[in-house]
Amino acid sequence: MLKPDKIFAQDTSLAPMVEYINGYPDSVKVNNIFIIGNEKTQKNIILRELDFTTDYYYDWNTFLEIIQADQKKIYNLRLFTSVEITPLMSGNNEVEVLIAVKERWYILPSLIFELADRNFSEWWTNQNRDFSRVNFGLRLSHANVGGRNEKLRFAGQLGFTRALDVLYSKPYIDKKQKHGIAAQVTFFEQKTIPLRSSNNKQVFFSNEQEDVLRKNFGLALRYTYRRTFYNFHFFNLGYNNTRIDPEVLLQNPNYFQHNSNSLKYLYATYTFRHDKRDNVAYATDGELLQVSATKYGIFKTENLDEIEVNLTMNRYWKLNEKFHFASGLTANWFLSQSQPYTLVRGIGYNPNFIRGYELNVIEGQQLYVHKNSFRWKFIDWEYDISSVVPLEQFSTIPFTFYLSANFDHGYVKDRNNIPENALLTNRYLFGYGLGIDMVGFYDAVLRFEYSFNNNGGANFFLNFKAPF
């Protein structure tokens, strides 16, 4: 696991080096950069993240700050379980830089066994722990094809939602490593579908014959431009084809907004992303800014003509080694009065939620959510199991536990003022409580939370990823 505060290797050469640099020199020149541990990952993928180069003089204190930031960037490639950058003094005003990485296991065949619902609490409480609402299948992914940080994923799924998913991404297609591409093909079909919401909860529908009620085919292409270390530009062009059983329109005539049981459209999305988090899986320091705009319906707009805008702003303050504070704002806007139900958004749909309202969906055309957590790291363990598991990628298991105090609040604007959802729409909502977050092997996150909301609700909630 990344230890951003530990720049130097633990060896006897460190003590005289620190004593020397405290008085002199003021600046250093990097002679060479050595990388060890990258058995599969190509060297240029790591060098792309470095903000320093050879044969150039740096102020010493500035150089240490650069090394800390570069260590985080390399770790956030999610190719390594640990990253350590060590400057070694080789002469007057000169250093050699050693980058030691420990690679992850990149080819991961895994069984799919996951809930089809929005979250664990929705399945446990609202759906009465119904095991027919479980997806199962096989997922095969390669996180570092050719050692170039290319991703290849194939998933075949049965159960509540039958699905196929194929994804390929190549982060860099040019020598300067600024341009990338990706492609994804998806298909899924469902016999039970969310039809609408009532009393701020999803209403599901299936017919007696257990017919397939919805089929969806999607194709997406993405171009990525990364001009600087922390700023990314994404351009997506996609095609979506959704077909529903005619019985769905009898149950909800507004499921689609035209007289047809199929909806086909092209869409285009532009996204700007500024990401300077210390750990993308569970951040304790840094910031994230993401702005995106999507146009649904291109060329032929008689069936769908919509614009969606999204904003995410997260900030993380590391107060010391034990405490940090995290605050995140998300906002979503649709420009038109109403949308086909396949595009409906709201609080309760990932990533927009307020703790204490996990059992609800609050749907509308505009939403604002502000999440806050004050966290105390009270356990930081790392177990060496190399004597039992000889593979280096699995030789250590880290466990970090945080106690969190949480306060979230937000608002959903429903221009249609649907009466059966009036309890929670168009009004201020907030939730608060305590939780324990566990960050474990390969950045897996597990959260146990007990939360209250301003409508008198209180419950225990279990989640499987960082809140923001």
H/E stretch holding 61: helix 60-75
Region 33-41 average pLDDT: 95
Write down the mean pLDDT value for the chain.
89
H/E stretch holding 21: helix 14-23
Give CA–CA dist 146/290, Å, rounded.
30
- Count other Cβ atoms within 10 Å, centred on residue 286: 20
Region 259-272 average pLDDT: 94
The architecture (CATH level 2) of 14-103 comes to Roll (3.10)
- List, for residues 88-137, the tens digit of each pLDDT value: 988 778 999 999 999 998 887 777 777 777 877 788 788 878 877 888 88
Is-contact 185 221, C-beta < 8 A?
no
Give me the residues paired with residue 286 across strands: 316
Contacts of 268 (CB under 8 A, 6+ apart): 235, 236, 237, 238, 294, 295, 298
Top CATH class, 107-463:
mainly beta
Nearest alpha-carbon partner for 379 in 319, 326, 467, 439: 439
Is-contact 425 415, C-beta < 8 A?
no
C-alpha distances in angstroms, 114 versus 57, 158, 194? 52, 11, 18
In this prediction the pTM is: 0.86
pLDDT score, position 120: 79
Contacts of 186 (CB under 8 A, 6+ apart): 163, 164, 165, 166, 216, 217, 218, 219
Is-contact 74 80, C-beta < 8 A?
yes
Pairing of strands 107-115, 396-413: unpaired
| Range from 8-17, 258-267, 381-390, 453-462 carrying the lowest mean pLDDT | 8-17
Give CA–CA dist 354/313, Å, rounded.
16
Report how many helices (DSSP H) and strands (DSSP E) the chain contains, helices first: 5, 24
- Fold equal for 14-103 and 107-463: no
Contacts of 387 (CB under 8 A, 6+ apart): none
C-alpha distances in angstroms, 302 versus 214, 260, 298? 21, 12, 10
- List, for residues 396-414, the tens digit of each pLDDT value: 888 999 999 999 999 999 9
Is 60 exceeded by the pLDDT of residue 17? no
Contacts of 97 (CB under 8 A, 6+ apart): 30, 32, 33, 34, 52, 67, 85, 86, 87, 88
Is 70 exceeded by the pLDDT of residue 238? yes
Is 90 exceeded by the pLDDT of residue 70? yes
Nearest alpha-carbon partner for 171 in 76, 303, 35, 63: 76
- Count other Cβ atoms within 10 Å, centred on residue 100: 16
Token look-up 């970090």 returns 400
Give CA–CA dist 195/206, Å, rounded.
9
Q: Is 40 helix (H, G, I), strand (E, B) or coil?
A: coil
Give me the residues paired with residue 264 across strands: 241
Q: Where are the domains of the chain?
A: 14-103, 107-463
- List, for residues 208-237, the tens digit of each pLDDT value: 888 899 999 999 999 999 999 999 999 999
Q: Which residue has the higher pLDDT, 21 or 362?
A: 362
